[in-house]
Each structure stands twice: as structure tokens, then as C-alpha cells.
Structure 1
Amino acid sequence: MDGTSSGNLTDDLAGLDFAAVAPEEFARIVKSLSAKQLTEVMRGELRTRILGEVFGRMKQQFRPEAAGGLTALIRWKITGESDAVYETAIAAGACRVTPGRSDAEPRTTLVMGDAEFLKLVSGNGNPVTMFMTRKLKVAGDVGLASGLTRYFDIPKA
């Protein structure tokens, strides 16, 4: 943020052009907020914008050399004000992200709240710790889920 904060976190973030925010800056913003603040931010149109931008960047942050010949469909279910579902399909060294739930059977499904999702994708949350404390639930291939972070360039705050 630019120091002209109005004191209202949601208004401050709503004014951000997320497309122009570098992944490292996004990671710093997430790191600076408590889980309660992250949950407060993830409401309404702002939540839609944030999720859209995060999932929109996955394709660019995908590391095909790390994925090799991996073929997998990963379903993300982010719980909060409402359930948001996205799917990441990895095949032939490419990554495709689509909103919504397809009829295809995912190899793994990740379920987490808004704050946990933001911490995970910004490099501010440890997926193993989140899993062990049940803040991240995994259905299907747990091994694939545990290695997902190596297939993407995750920013560091």
C-alpha cells in the first residue's frame, strides 16, 4: 500500500490493480495480514477479483521442467463466504486453469478456507503444517498434493 491508507483494509485492497501487483508484493501484503483480516478481505467482488488473479497467474508460474511427464487434474475448493472451485490440469508440460467443477475425476482435491489459500499460494503457509493441523484437507493423491509447490514458482515475502 502507498501510505495513504484510509484505515479500511478492504477499501485499500479494493483499490489495488491486482494485475499490476508483482507476486512478491502480493506475498508481502498477505504476510502483513492476520488470518482474520484475510478472511475479512475475501468477500464479494474483491474475493472474486483476488481468486481470478491468483488462478490466472498459475499458468505463468507453472514450471514445466519440474512437472516433466506429469498428467494430473487438481481441483481446488476454497471455502469462505461461498465455495469457489477451480481446476488445474497439468499435461504434456502445460498447465491449464479453469473456473468451476468439471465432470472429470481429479487426481487430488485440495479444500481450504480463504485465509489458508492466500497463505499457501503466496508462500506464507507451510502446506504440510496446514495439512497436519487440518486447515488444508486433501482427498485423493496425497503424494501429488504434497509435491505441488515444486511445479510452480511460489513468491517469497
Structure 2
Amino acid sequence: MADDISRIAGLDFASVTPEEFARLVKGLSDKEIAGIARDGALRKRVLDEVFRRMERQFRPAAAGSLTALLRWRVTGSGDNPEVVYETRIADGVCTVREGRSEAEPRVTFVMGDAAFLKLVSGNASPVTLFMLRKVKVTGDVALAAGLTRYFDVPGRPGA
């Protein structure tokens, strides 16, 4: 597990393609991801990069006139507290911010680090994660179910 932490910690995220990131996540167990997440600085770096990429991997044509605020609560463990990010889709643009705003989200997702990384890397089906109760969804469940069509996600049709 120390090798996994070293391997992830040594990555230059700017040079890792979404496909390479997906392959990396696919090779990790939930336990290994939890080990990586225990390093608070590394966890923040990984989460920040994933959310930064959401803006770049957004597919405005697929979103059309969609307007929505999505709140992502990634639960922590041990010394790492829950972190919150928000994704706003409006006027064909996706913007991301860390932290919780006062605005009411259209959808809120709650999940642990492993489920989150598997979901955003295309290594797990959102429906399966929901059915296994690894992801909790509140709000517009229909929007949540179709959310992947608005982003280029490795391993998903249209990506």
C-alpha cells in the first residue's frame, strides 16, 4: 500500500490523461484508495484535480439548456473530514468550487473516497453504486442517473 501512495503522490496530474487516471484507479482496491485518502494533503490534491477536470470534460452540447447545482459530499475517515465541492451547470458552462454555498442544490451526492474515484473515473456504474448504497443521492434522481452524459468519462459511451 505504501507503493500505491508513493505512486499517486509522485504523479504530475497535469500530464495524466483521464484514461491513464481511470486505469490507475481501476488497479486499486477500496482498501488501497482508503490508504491513499488517509494522506490528507494527497487526498486534497487528488480531489482538487478531479473537480478541476470536470470543467474541462464538460460536454456543453449534451447539457443544452440545463441549469443545475450539484453538491458532492465526499465523506472522510480518520483525521480526514468530509469535503464538499459544488458543480454549477448553466448557460453551457460548468464551473466548480470547493465548499458549500447557501444555494439549494438540485442534486446532492454523498459517498466515500473509493466510490467517488471509481465513479468519476468510469470504473463503477452510478446505478450499481447507488443500489449497493455506496452512493446516496438526494434531490433530482433522474438528473443524477443521467449525469454522466454531460461529461467525457473514460470507459463510458460517448467519452
Give the shorter-chain TM-score range: over 0.9
1:52 aligns with 2:48: yes
Q: In the alignment, what sits opposite 1:146?
A: 145
State the shift of 1:156 in Å: 2.5
1:71 aligns with 2:70: no
- 2:146 is paired with a residue whose SS is helix
TM-score by length of 2: 0.92
Report the AA paired with residue 27 of structure 2. S
In structure 2, stretches of 5+ residues that fail to align are none
Report the AA paired with residue 53 of structure 2. R
| Aligned-CA RMSD value | 1.4
Mark the CA change 1:154 to 1:73 in structure 2 (over 3 Å): closer, same or farther. same
- 1:77 is paired with a residue whose SS is strand
Q: In the alignment, what sits opposite 2:100?
A: 101
TM-score by length of 1: 0.93
1:1-157 counterparts in 2 under 5 A?
A: 8-43=3-38, 44-80=40-76, 81-156=80-155
In 1, Cα distance between the equivalents of 2:14 and 2:111?
Answer: 24
- 1:37 is paired with a residue whose SS is helix
Report the AA paired with residue 15 of structure 1. G
Number of residue equivalences? 152
Report the AA paired with residue 129 of structure 1. T
